[in-house]
Amino acid sequence: MSALLQIGEVARRLNLSVQTLYFYERIGLIPAPQRSTSGYRLFDTRDLERLRFITRVKALGLSLDEIKEMLVLYDGESLTCEAIHAKLVSKVQDLDRKIQRLQALRDELTPLIHQCQTYLDASRPSQDCAALQDLTTTNPEVSEA
């Protein structure tokens, strides 16, 4: 039988906070661990493996809901290449959509920065900023009710 570790040691080994481990337990990412006679949470090797898995997929950018879906596969020991592939492809597609939205936002902000820089270069930093005026008159996303 492997040694059982208290929550503080698990947190230290995995570079997580104790509060994170409590949270993972509360939302069902990890099952309630064993308890000592004094009531301390005790984690075994299997618990550590699960937490390493969670930490790794979280580092890959998966949300807690996506991690829960992956854990269903993990718990059912059906981590088939097909199932993982589908999850990861979906995640990459989501990231691509976010990158496109961020690029569009950057493309909107860049001209405003240049417009402000023109005033700064002309030594008129205290003058009302025309870029702000443009935001109220040319924003296509906002419609009047």
Domain total of the chain: 2
Q: What is the pTM of this model?
A: 0.66
Name the residue range of residue 12's domain. Answer: 5-63
Which of 47, 63, 79 marks a domain boundary? 63
C-alpha to C-alpha distance for 139 and 120, rounded to whole angstroms: 24
Which pLDDT belongs to residue 27?
94
Q: pLDDT band at 86, cuts 50/70/90?
A: confident
C-alpha to C-alpha distance for 53 and 5, rounded to whole angstroms: 18
Domain annotation covers residue 89: no
Task: Check if the beta carbon of residue 39 is closer than 8 Å to that of residue 29.
Answer: no
Which of 21, 45, 63 marks a domain boundary? 63
Q: How many CB atoms sit inside 10 A of residue 29's CB?
A: 19
Which pLDDT belongs to residue 54?
94
Give 4-43 pLDDT, tens digit per residue: 999 999 999 999 999 999 999 999 999 999 999 999 999 9
C-alpha to C-alpha distance for 46 and 63, rounded to whole angstroms: 22
CATH value at residue 18: 1.10.1660.10
